[in-house]
Amino acid sequence: MTPDLNRTADPGPGPRLVLKGISKIYPTVAANDQVDLNVRPGEIRAILGENGAGKSTLMKIIYGVTKPSAGQIIWEGREVQVANPAHARSLGIGMVFQHFSLFETLTVVENVALALPGKPALDALAQRITEVSARYGLPVDPRRHIHALSVGERQRVEIIRCLLQNPRLLIMDEPTSVLTPQAVRTLFETLRQLSAEGCAILYISHKLDEIQALCHTATVLRGGKVSGECLPAQETPASMARLMIGKDLPHCEHGAAKTDGELRLRLAGLSHASDDPFGTDLKDIHLDVRAGEIVGIAGVSGNGQQELLRAISGEEALSEKFPVQVCGVEAGRLSPGQRRRLGLAFVPEERLGRGAVPGLSLTDNALLTAARTQGLLAGGFLRSGRARAFAQRCIEAFNVKCGGPGAAAKSLSGGNLQKFIVGREILQAPRLLVCAQPTWGVDVGAASFIRQSLIDLRDRGCAVLVISEELDELFEICDRIAVIAKGRLSPTRAAAETTVEDIGVWMSGMWPGADPASSPAPTESPHA
């Protein structure tokens, strides 16, 4: 059934959820250590902490994905042992995951149906998905297959699926990482409405301005333990960052870019029809990126970013070789490996599956892209010691919290895996780096470090292209910014000569000289 927007707030004075002494011990780390927590009906409580602090593990324990090593879970006044996510949903607990729990070969409506009791009729459910997505400003087509959706569109599916379950406790793990400013505001309106009706909300985010604007209370985790609590309305983002990381947040140092560097990437009238019937065709895209500069591309999720990345990386073969030129070579028909040999490094938007193989160790994941640049192969044989050393170098240089080079990629928190993937590519000293959503799900301290690392790479003469839906991030690190909308790319503009507001308007497809007919639907256009 659709969310009941007319329900009344829970009149009971007791907590909706109480955790007492929750611990989760793994062979190499204590993810949670004697955690106490409670959340009342209608309360929006933030869970703050660095990557690897134990936030996601704690939420998975509440949702029944992970079993605690010790401690009690008290739900609405009685102790429970949450057996699995289906049991959690039957209790009234819903969760939106940071790493999506979607079946890629199924459609949106089929994925939603799997989370609902019984066997709902798919046609009727598709109509309900359309209605709820429109009501909450999270547009998604129920007929599309998950594998064809961008990260931002998959996030919408997760949120809609959870709202359809009408939860009494809603857990949200980085729900706005890839949403536009407009969609974030709409989501906040929805969460405030649910809170007013008595739904308790546990909210994990590294965006401290969001915490300050939305949450009533906050619990801070550090090293798996509760290190403090605060009232976000009485704090600043800077003071909350200090509570999380124990020191002041560093600021990026961004000097002037080179203006006459060597041409490293040229898109020369790139047009390409998407193989996905619901995808976005690329239309006559022109862009130059030179050594010693960072160029950013903004846009509403689903406007051609995924197709553009595949065309540049070589994952999508082109019929002609000239539309994509890498380091002076016409590369449109070259494979990803051939483009990497020219000096291209690539950070995809999807960490698990494209950025890293979940079941492989960090050493093996380092080998996947760095074998040739780091001399990890000799005469057709793997130099395993050298591969481990490179993985360890990534871990140390980017402060990746893990069990060492032998740890499986899937065992890392989302932010720590992102740090490893970004570090793996940067440490190869590429001539051209293409990076999508570089700080998605990364804590504020690590995000600042990654951004500074991209700037430092630029200063060493690399050409950097960043595709991000974080406008503040693009303005912090980029020298020039363009916008993609409906498969078309705007002209670039110097970041110092434009504003977030201007780029927000361009994200609706309305830049000078743009074809009005190609603009995205009004419901999708953000206003920064």
Residue 274 burial by Cβ neighbours in a 10 Å radius (0-12, 13-18, 19+): middle
Contacts of 374 (CB under 8 A, 6+ apart): 366, 386, 387, 390, 428
- pLDDT at residue number 309: 95
> CA–CA separation, 462 vs 460, rounded Å?
6
Per run of 10 residues, the mean pLDDT along the chain (length 528 residues) is 38 82 88 95 94 89 95 95 93 85 91 88 94 82 89 83 90 77 78 91 90 94 91 90 77 78 96 86 96 94 90 92 96 95 94 91 95 89 94 95 92 88 96 94 84 95 94 93 95 93 86 66 37
Q: What is the pLDDT of residues 91-134, one digit of tens each?
A: 999 998 876 778 989 999 999 999 888 889 999 999 999 998 88
Question: Rounded to an integer, what distance in angstroms lies between the CA atom of residue 238 and that of residue 232?
Answer: 11
* Torsion angle of the four alpha carbons 521, 318, 298, 112, in this order, in degrees rounded to the nearest 10: 60
DSSP 257: P
Going from the C-alpha of 64 to that of each of 85, 86, 88, 266, 414, the distances in angstroms are 5, 8, 6, 49, 19
For residue 78, what pLDDT is reported?
94
Give the pLDDT confidence score for residue 26 in this predicted structure. 85
Determine the Cα–Cα distance for residues 280 and 285; give it in Å rounded to an integer.
Answer: 13
DSSP per-residue letters across 98-145: SS----TTSBHHHHHHHTSSS---HHHHHHHHHHHHHHTT----TTSB
pLDDT of the residue at 132:
87
β-bridge pairing 30-39 and 17-25: antiparallel
**Residue 404 class from Cβ within 10 Å (0-12 exposed, 13-18 middle, 19+ buried)?**
middle
DSSP, residue by residue, 9-26: PP---S-SEEEEEEEEE-
Rounded Cα distance between 94 and 168, Å, is 8
Is the separation of the CB atoms in 369 and 421 below 8 Å? no
Contact (Cβ atoms closer than 8 angstroms) between residue 137 and residue 149: no
Per-residue pLDDT, 13 = 61
Give the list of residues 6+ apart from residue 511 with CB closer than 8 angstroms, or none.
483, 490, 491, 505
* Domains of the chain listed by start with CATH number: 17-245 (3.40.50.300), 261-343+431-442+461-528 (3.40.50.300), 353-429 (no CATH)
Using CA atoms, how far apart are residues 9 and 381, in angstroms rounded to an integer? 65
Q: In the prediction, which pLDDT does 504 show?
A: 83
CB-based contacts of 11: which residues, under 8 Å, 6+ apart?
none
Binning the chain into helix, strand and coil, the percentages to the nearest 5 are 35, 25, 45
Q: How much is the pLDDT for 180?
A: 64
Distance CA 398, CA 422 (A): 9
Using an 8 Å Cβ cutoff, are 523 and 137 in contact?
yes
pLDDT of residue 517: 56
**Residue 187 near residue 132 (C-beta atoms within 8 A):** no
Phi, psi of 237 (to 5 degrees): -55, -35
Q: Closest by alpha carbon to 511, among 526, 487, 492?
A: 492
Here the tokens at position 311 are 């065309």
